[in-house]
Chain A
C-alpha cells in the first residue's frame, strides 16, 4: 500500500491531482466550518463587492460571501458527484462483468442494449430522467448515475472478457460454483484496477454534469449553495460584477482537473509495467 502511494505521488500528475482532490474533499467534509461568514446571510449594504477586504472573494447580488458559499457548496456538489459516479460505476461494473461471464446471446443482447443507450448523449439522458422524475438533488444523482452506467459497463466488459478466459474462472465453473459467486468473487476483484481509474476520471465529468443540471435549473434549487446553481444565477450580473461568475466556474474547473489528474496518476501507479 505504501509502495503504491509512493508510486502515485512520484508522478507529477498523481501528486498534483492528489493535492487538489484532498483539498476539495477536505472542504466537502468540513463544509462551512471554516467559512468566514454564514453562506446564506444576506447583506443589503455589501452587494457586488469585488474580492478583497472583509469578503475575500467578494459578494454576490444579495451580498452573500462567495468564499463561504463555495466552501459550503463543496459538500453537496462533490458528494453528489462522487455518489452518482460510484453508483453508476457499481451498476455498470456488475452488468459488464455479468455480460462477459454469460457470453453468447446474452452478451450480445446486453451489449446491443447498452450501445443503444450510449447513442443518447449523457446530458440528454440525464435531462430525460430528471424531467420524468422531477427536478431535485436526489433525482439529479440518479440521472447522472444512469447516464454513466452504459459507458462503465462497456469498459468493464472489455476487461472482464480477458479475465473470463483465465483458468481460475474455468476452475470455478468446473467446481460447480454459482454464477453470483463467479461474477462477484472471482471476476470482479480482478477488473477493479481499470474501473478505479475510470471512476476518478468520471467524477470530474459528474461534477460538470451536476453543474450543468443545476445551471439549467434541474438540479439543486435556490437558495442552496451549489456551484452550478451559483454560476447559473450569476449569469445575469456578468457585466456588473464578473467575480460572482468567475469564482464558482474556476472551482468547478479546478476540481474537474484535479480528479482527472488523479485518474491519470492512478492509471500509472496501478500498472507499474507501462
Chain B
C-alpha cells in the first residue's frame, strides 16, 4: 500500500443473519476486510458462501429480513451503517458504485444507454443535460467503444452483451468513486468478451486508482486480477493474503480443495486412446433454422429470412468417444444437441448406427433410448412436482428395463452408481442440492442404457468442487459402459481434460474438429486460436503437493 492513512473500505467484526420463518440463518460471521486506495481485493467463494450478501451489506441494500450485529462498515471515515436513506442515495454512484453480473438485467431495457449513463452525472456532478451527454460520449470512448456518439442513442437490446457491460463499467467509473464492487462481472459473458472486459478493468483500475472489491467464483480470473484474495467459506473468511503466495501455498484445507478442483488442461481425466471404429453417429449437413413463414407472408409473397441456428454441420462420433463442442453462446452448440434429440426440426441427415434419420418422424423409440440428453440446469430439467422415484421410473417404463429385476431395485442400483443414497428415492428435487440434482439427471439418462449421451453445459451451473465430482462420475460411467459423449461447454480448460476430440463452433458454423492435443497448435483456424488465447490458464494457480 502506498498510503498509510485510513483505508477506503474497512469492515470490522461484521455478522449478518437472515430471518427465515422462525429460524435464523447465519450468512456472514465476523468478517474483517480492508481495502486500501488502488487495491483490488478478490473475494472468492462458492455459491451460498455469502459473497453477494457481503456486497449488499456494503452497498446498504439488504433484504428486509436481514439482521446485523454490532460490527462496523466504514467507507473512508464515513460510517455507512449510520447513514440515512437520503445520505446513502447520495453516496451510491458518487462514492461507491457496483457492476453486476448480468448486463442485460442491470440496464433498463426501455431507456437509451446515454440516458442511463448521464443520469449519474446529472445527479451527482450537477452537470446540465447537454454537458452530461458530452461527458457521457467521452466516457464511452474511454471504455473502448468504437462509436460512442451513436452508442449513446441506442437501446440496450440493440448492442451486444460485451458492449452493455462496457456501458455499465463506464457508468460505475463515471463519478470517480472511491470504491467499486464487481459482482462476477464476466460470468454472463463469452470467453473472448470477458477477456476484453478484464483487460479494460485492469486499465481503468490502473488509471484511476480506485479501490475494488472483485467478487467471483472463478479462481483463475481472481488470481489474474486481484492483488489480495480473501477466501469465503460458509460466511467465514478462512484465508486471506497476497494473491501469489496464497495460491502457491494455500494453508486452509478448503482453499486447497478449491484450487485442486480447478480444471487443468494438462491433467487428463480421460484414460485410453480414441477408439478406432466405424462412427456410431454421422451428422451430415445438418442445418437448423428458427422461425416459420407465417400464412400472411406466404399469401402476400413477402420474403422470409429465418434465424439460422446451424449451417450444414457435418461431424462423426465413434462409439465410446468423447467429443467436446466449444464455442460462444449463440454459436449453435445447444441447437445441434436439440436437433440430435428431436427437440428442433432440422434439414440434413443424421445416421445413427447405419440407420438414416432425416427428421423427427424417423426418431423411433429405439433411437430415443440410445441417444440421451442431460441439460444445464438441474433445477429446470427435473420436474419439481415429481418425486425422484417417478422421475427415474419413466425411462424404465418407456423403454423397458432389465428383465426380471424389480423396477425399485433397478432405480436403487442406479442411484448407488451415481453415488446417491437409496433413501433419496422418495424425495422431491427441491430437497436436493444442485450437484445431487444433476446426479439424478445423469441417473435418468443412464437408466435407459444409452450409447450416446449429450451433455449440454451440465457443469456450468455448478460450483468448482461439485463440478469436479460430477465430471469424475461421468468419466467413471464412461469407463464402465463405453458410452459415447458429446460434451458441450464453454470451459475450454475442462474440455481439454476429458475429450478425445474438440469441435469448435462459431455463429452456427462448425469451424473445425481437432484432436484435443492439437488444439493449441499454431496451425489451427484463426477463430480457434483466438478462443484458446482468451482462456485464462490456471497456470497461475500452481499445483500443490
Q: Which residues of A contact B (CB under 8 A)?
A: 3, 104, 166-168, 170-177, 185-186, 189-190
Contact = CB atoms under 8 A, between A and B. Distances in A.
Contacts of B385: 189-190
Contacts of A3: 21
A168 B373 contact: no
A232 to B, nearest CB: 45
Given A166-B380, A190-B383, A190-B385, A171 B373 contact: yes
A219 to B, nearest CB: 38
B363 A171 contact: no
B407 to A, nearest CB: 16
Contacts of A170: 338, 343, 373, 375, 381
Contacts of A166: 380-381
B377 A167 contact: yes
B375 A167 contact: yes
Given A167-B376, A171-B375, A176-B368, 18 more contacts: A104-B292, A167-B377, A168-B380, A171-B373, A171-B381, A172-B394, A173-B342, A173-B343, A175-B368, A175-B372, A175-B394, A175-B395, A175-B398, A176-B365, A176-B369, A189-B383, A189-B385, A189-B386
B44 interface: no
Contacts of B21: 3
25 contacts: A3-B21, A166-B380, A166-B381, A167-B375, A167-B377, A167-B380, A167-B381, A168-B382, A168-B383, A170-B338, A170-B375, A171-B375, A173-B342, A174-B368, A174-B373, A175-B372, A175-B448, A176-B363, A176-B365, A176-B398, A185-B386, A189-B385, A189-B386, A190-B383, A190-B385
Interface in B351-401: 363, 365, 368-369, 372-373, 375-377, 380-386, 394-395, 398
Given A104-B292, A167-B375, A174 B342 contact: yes
Contacts of B395: 175
Given A171-B373, A176-B365, A176-B398, A190 B343 contact: no
A177 B341 CA distance: 13
The 10 closest A-B pairs by CB, nearest first: A167-B381, A176-B368, A189-B385, A167-B375, A167-B380, A174-B341, A168-B383, A166-B380, A174-B373, A171-B381
Nearest to A187: B383
Contacts of A171: 373, 375, 381, 441, 444
Nearest to A174: B341
Contacts of B398: 175-177
Contacts of B380: 166-168
A207 B381 CA distance: 41
Tell me what chain A mostly uses at the interface: helix, strand, loop, or mixed: helix
Interface string B57-96: 0000000000000000000000000000000000000000
Q: Specify which of A170, A177, A185 lies most central, judged by the most chain B CB atoms within 10 Å of its CB.
A: A170
A190 to B, nearest CB: 6
A177 B393 CA distance: 13
A186 B383 contact: yes
Contacts of A172: 394
Interface in B211-262: none
Contacts of A176: 342, 363, 365, 368-369, 398
Contacts of A175: 368, 372, 394-395, 398, 448
B448 to A, nearest CB: 8
Nearest to B342: A174
A173 B338 CA distance: 11
Contacts of A173: 342-343
A255 B381 CA distance: 42
A177 B343 CA distance: 12
A106 B398 CA distance: 27
B382 to A, nearest CB: 6
Nearest to A168: B383
A174 B384 contact: no
A13 to B, nearest CB: 21
A71 B491 CA distance: 69
Contacts of B342: 173-174, 176
A7 to B, nearest CB: 10
A166 B448 CA distance: 22
A4 to B, nearest CB: 12
Contacts of A190: 383-385
A186 B380 CA distance: 12
